[in-house]
Amino acid sequence: MEENNSPSVSRSNAMALMRFFSVDTDTEVNLPHTTSGIQVPDLVDLWAREFILKVVQLAVGFICIGLYSEGLKIVIDSISSMMFPNVVFSSFLIITGVIILSRLLGCPVPQLLTRIFGILGALLYLASAAVTTYEALTRVDKADLIRIRCLVATAMLSYVNSAVYGLDVYFSVKKTLDFDTKI
């Protein structure tokens, strides 16, 4: 099958995606912030530091959910300890996924909202890591070492993801204040 990468085909594909994800029902929609065509993101933008950090956040979030679902089998006496990390992991998978998808569609989420979500992500992942660490350390006397190791790995990855969210916020603020040096 032959692929046509002409600007008109790229524009029509981008228009179709914009219409699909839009709340507008008008088929003759005039999109603001466009001159002659839709802004399709370049592959160079996908290698930007902010985008790579978002992909890392998403990947670590998926790993945390997988590990915690196995370690959760020994945390049966505390509903809050069972629910809180799952809520944090799941909600930030959705938030980070939407931020990545919006960037891929060429309509990035405003930086202020991204920073707010980043600060919340750093704090909530840190709290989730603390809860998971507490649960892992209080379960040491149990014989199920594999699930305890899953809890410890989840806690360590939650600390890592908290740091990644913090770095993302730091670089965003640094770029906004125009003190960003090219690395």
pLDDT along the chain (183 residues), means of 10: 57 62 49 53 71 95 92 77 90 95 86 94 96 86 80 95 96 79 56
What pLDDT, on a 0 to 100 scale, did the predictor assign at position 23? 46
Instruction: Give the three-state DSSP class for 71.
Output: helix
Phi and psi based region of residue 32 (left: phi greater than 0; alpha: psi -120 to 50; beta: remaining):
beta
Cβ(129)–Cβ(155) under 8 Å? yes
What pLDDT, on a 0 to 100 scale, did the predictor assign at position 17? 60
Distance CA 66, CA 1 (A): 38
DSSP 73: G
What pLDDT, on a 0 to 100 scale, did the predictor assign at position 62? 96
| C-alpha radius of gyration, the chain, whole number | 21
Distance CA 33, CA 176 (A): 21
Burial class of residue 94 (count of CB atoms within 10 Å of its CB; 0-12, 13-18, 19+): exposed
